[in-house]
């Protein structure tokens, strides 16, 4: 049983803790954070199902004020674990890495950290083997994670030469205020980091693309123009996507009108927080135009990286050596059912 700790109990950390707790071959030792944040207070109201470790000792009185039991400090958690999932704010993980090295522990960092923090820039489906036995892995960002799922699925079946991507990026997570109130679009320079990151994980595929920040919170929207290495039909592309457990093919005509429809669908399913682990593609957006495969995908940014992070545990700890065996177990325990409409 692999012992796992989660450091940083925010948007991603909450979901990582829940995801690890569902794995039958892993044990969640506890979570660490610095203060009685709203997620920590919610954890208290739920009966403290996870042991809490305080990463900032001067805040002890603040935790005690709310009656939150403290199981120890950050180093206490690290010493008890085989591997740490670091979901802290960008830059904090690099500081924490020194502690992980001090105790000889493995760690997986989220997409906000710089790529050089880790031995491998990791994706469960695209380069699982490169993560085997490594001490430090870094996940791709939410957009890049979902993008690579689709490009990798096509590449393994028909081969992909290059991709051109356009990203309409949500400006903040639901509940975040740090972006302010805005009524504007903001354009990034070409190429966007998702295209660059895709090439780091899949160096045999050329990629470029644009990114536009938009003042919404429920998911990113990506359009991909992929150049295949052999002729393919729309029907074949649809079937490739339908076979992938972490890609769901839906239809506009069935009521999946956009990001809000998909977010509501997750809540209607009764998923905690309305989370969805899959990326969604609309069948009506999939087409073959001249020498390009065109399709659009929805990225549920709060939860999409959770399966690949758990894949990373399996790779780093060498729990499974085979890529498909590893991702299948992650999918099974997360109850990813491979349902399409």
Q: Are residue 17 and residue 32 in the same domain, yes or no?
A: yes
Q: Are residue 224 and residue 252 in the same domain, yes or no?
A: yes
Q: What is the pTM of this model?
A: 0.95
Which residue ranges of the chain lie beneath pLDDT 50?
Answer: none
- For residues 24 and 244, give the distance between their C-alpha atoms in angstroms, rounded to a whole number: 23
In a domain, 224, yes or no: yes
Check residue 171 and give its pLDDT: 78
In a domain, 200, yes or no: yes
Check residue 172 and give its pLDDT: 74
Tokens representing residue 191 in the block: 């190429």
Tokens representing residue 167 in the block: 């990203």
Q: Are residue 174 and residue 70 in the same domain, yes or no?
A: no
Q: Are residue 89 and residue 122 in the same domain, yes or no?
A: yes
- For residues 139 and 123, give the distance between their C-alpha atoms in angstroms, rounded to a whole number: 7
Reply yes or no on whether 81 is catalytic: no
Using an 8 Å Cβ cutoff, are 200 and 120 in contact?
no
Q: Are residue 283 and residue 321 in the same domain, yes or no?
A: no
Q: Are residue 180 and residue 293 in the same domain, yes or no?
A: yes
Q: Are residue 187 and residue 328 in the same domain, yes or no?
A: no
Count other Cβ atoms within 10 Å, centred on residue 172: 16
Residue 160 sits in which domain range?
142-299
Q: Are residue 88 and residue 188 in the same domain, yes or no?
A: no
Give the CATH number for residue 232. Answer: 3.30.360.10
- Helix residue ranges per DSSP H, the chain: 11-22, 38-45, 60-65, 74-80, 92-102, 142-158, 193-201, 234-243, 259-268, 306-316, 323-333
In a domain, 236, yes or no: yes
In a domain, 341, yes or no: no
Give the CATH number for residue 97. Answer: 3.40.50.720
In a domain, 338, yes or no: no
Number of domains in the chain: 2
Check residue 184 and give its pLDDT: 87
Q: Are residue 229 and residue 255 in the same domain, yes or no?
A: yes
Length of the chain: 341
Q: Are residue 315 and residue 181 in the same domain, yes or no?
A: no
In a domain, 290, yes or no: yes
Q: Are residue 191 and residue 131 in the same domain, yes or no?
A: no
In a domain, 340, yes or no: no
Q: Is 33 annotated as a binding residue?
A: yes
User: Could you say which of 63, 68, 142, 249 is catalytic?
Assistant: 142
What angle do helix axes 306-316 and 11-22 make, rounded to 10 degrees? 60
- Enumerate residues 6+ apart whose C-beta is below 8 A from 92: 8, 86
Q: Are residue 117 and residue 230 in the same domain, yes or no?
A: no
Burial class (CB in 10 A: 0-12, 13-18, 19+), 42: exposed
Burial class (CB in 10 A: 0-12, 13-18, 19+), 173: middle
């Amino acid at each position: 049983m692999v012992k796992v700790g989660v450091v940083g109990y925010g948007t991603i950390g909450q979901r990582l803790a829940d995801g690890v707790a569902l794995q039958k071959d892993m044990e969640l030792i506890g979570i660490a954070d610095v203060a009685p944040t709203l997620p920590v207070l919610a954890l208290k109201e739920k009966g403290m199902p996870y042991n809490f470790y305080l990463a900032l000792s001067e805040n002890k009185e603040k935790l005690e004020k709310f009656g939150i039991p403290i199981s120890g400090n950050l180093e206490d958690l690290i010493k008890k674990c085989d591997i740490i999932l670091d979901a802290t704010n960008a830059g904090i993980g690099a500081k924490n890495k020194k502690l992980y090295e001090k105790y000889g522990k493995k760690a997986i960092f989220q997409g906000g950290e710089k790529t050089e923090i880790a031995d491998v820039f990791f994706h469960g489906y695209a380069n699982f083997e490169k993560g085997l036995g490594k001490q430090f892995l870094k996940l791709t960002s939410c957009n890049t994670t979902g993008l690579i799922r689709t490009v990798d699925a096509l590449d393994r079946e028909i081969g992909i030469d290059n991709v051109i991507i356009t990203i309409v990026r949500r400006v903040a997570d639901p509940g975040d205020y740090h972006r302010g109130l805005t009524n504007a679009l903001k354009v990034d320079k070409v190429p966007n980091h998702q295209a660059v990151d895709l090439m780091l994980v899949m160096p045999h595929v050329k990629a470029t693309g644009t990114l536009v920040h938009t003042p919404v919170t429920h998911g990113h929207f990506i359009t991909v123009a992929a150049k295949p290495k052999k002729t393919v039909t729309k029907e074949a592309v649809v079937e490739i996507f339908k076979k992938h457990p972490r890609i769901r093919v839906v239809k506009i005509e069935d009521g999946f009108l956009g990001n809000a429809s998909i977010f509501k669908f997750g809540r209607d399913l009764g998923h905690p927080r309305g989370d969805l682990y899959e990326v969604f593609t609309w069948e009506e957006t999939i087409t073959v135009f001249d020498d390009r495969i065109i399709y659009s995908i929805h990225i549920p940014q709060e939860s999409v990286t959770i399966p690949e992070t758990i894949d990373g545990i399996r790779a780093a700890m060498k729990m499974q050596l085979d890529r498909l065996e590893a991702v299948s177990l992650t999918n099974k325990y997360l109850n990813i059912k491979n349902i399409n409409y």
